[in-house]
Amino acid sequence: MHALVHSTFGEATDVLDVVERPLPEPGPGEVRVRVVLAAIHNHDLWTIRGTYGFKLELPAQTGTEAVGVVDALGAGVETFSIGQRVTSAGTFGVWAEYFVAKASALVPVPDAIDDESAAQLISMPLSALSLLDFLDVSEGDWIAQNTANGAVGKLVAQFSRSRGVRVLGLVRRDEGVAELAELGINDVVSTEKDNWRQEAAAILAGASPRVAVDSVGGESAGELLSLVADGGSLVVFGAMGAPMLSIASSDIIFRGTTVRGFWGSKVSASMAPEKRVALIGELLQRVGSGEVKLPVEAVFPFVQAREAAAANARPGRAGKILLRP
């Protein structure tokens, strides 16, 4: 079979290659899946760079989320059947024509969900839903977030709406406000404007977010924290703009705010099984009904994986970049 592999750590645009590899065989409790579409996530690219929370042994087959069709069953697997559509997130090496995963790591895909949505169904949506659960907010509460037009930002806004939670979204470009409005996501402010704080205050109408989610770092983190209510918190989800946080000590000392981190992999690993099942059930229902949308920007064949990685980094991208074997 063919698979995408990197022999050194670096930018995916420089190190990804299509390599011929042996067809994997499923062991006991495992399933082999023929890949239909696979998603490119930022954490995949960070792993290829060697800058994520761990390093893979090189040469490494890469990619963590894909939708496909069950192709072979290992001994003892009775929960799936040949030809069944499934998705997997967190199984390394899915940027390939075939991959093997533990049966427990696969999720059956309902007929109401198309392949393009199913290819990105678990990783980012479940992270967004888990993040929202982690924030411990209730109906009527406000939260604030930057990169509101990013994949997770859009999902947090959509899942929040279904739960009755209000979201103040910050974007860096004026165009981002219109982009989100097309998805029915309002209460968004562009920090490109000098009066963005006044616009944010008008949307909040006297309310203050209990918690804010930062995916940028740098000064953006401090801007978000300044919007949070006294005693509220800033949750650091990512660092797309800068690896350091620039926050005012007065917000911590005099207003009693706190800063916490959220790493989806760690939260998922410690999550109670019944909680995970409940969140995945909510996710499938919201996406299947069309209440939560998972747009796609473009689909690239494996042979254009480097171009796909470049497209993933392009400013203004409105949807997920997918790979097709």
Q: Which of 14, 223, 200, 5 is nearest to 99 (CA)?
A: 5
For the stretch 136-162, pLDDT in tens is 999 999 999 998 988 889 999 999 998
CA angle 118, 116, 78 (to 5 degrees): 30
Cis peptide before 59 (omega within 30 of 0): yes
For the stretch 161-206, pLDDT in tens is 989 999 999 998 888 898 889 888 999 999 988 899 999 999 999 9
Determine the pLDDT at residue 310: 96
Determine the pLDDT at residue 176: 87
Distances (CA, A) of 295 to 13, 128, 246, 298: 23, 15, 32, 9
DSSP string across 186-212 = -SEEETTSTTHHHHHHHHHTT---SEE
Distances (CA, A) of 314 to 18, 95, 308, 309, 318: 23, 21, 10, 9, 10
Who contacts 321 (Cβ-Cβ below 8 Å, separation ≥6)?
39, 40, 296, 297, 298, 299, 300, 308, 311, 312
How far from chain centre, in Å, is Cα 302?
Answer: 21
- Average pLDDT, stretch 9-19? 96
Determine the pLDDT at residue 22: 96
Q: How far apart are CA 197 and CA 223, in angstroms?
A: 9
pLDDT bucket at 214, cuts 50 / 70 / 90: very high
State residue 86 phi and psi, 5-degree precision. Answer: -140, 160
- Average pLDDT, stretch 312-318? 83
* DSSP bridge partners of 98: 34
Q: Which of 227, 277, 281, 282 is nearest to 255 (CA)?
A: 227
For the stretch 83-121, pLDDT in tens is 999 999 889 999 999 999 999 999 999 999 999 999 999
Query: How many Cα neighbours within 13 Å face the side chain of 275?
Result: 12
Q: How far apart are CA 132 and CA 126, in angstroms?
A: 10
Determine the pLDDT at residue 268: 80
Q: Which amino acid is at 191?
A: T
Residue 114 CB coordination number (10 Å) = 14
For the stretch 245-304, pLDDT in tens is 999 999 999 999 999 999 877 888 888 888 888 999 999 999 999 888 898 999 999 999
Residue owning tokens 């480097």: 306
Q: Is pLDDT of 64 > 80?
A: yes
Determine the pLDDT at residue 32: 98
Determine the pLDDT at residue 316: 73
Who contacts 309 (Cβ-Cβ below 8 Å, separation ≥6)?
11, 12, 13, 16, 40, 45
Q: Is pLDDT of 53 > 80?
A: no
- Average pLDDT, stretch 314-319? 81
Sign, CA torsion 209/210/213/218: positive
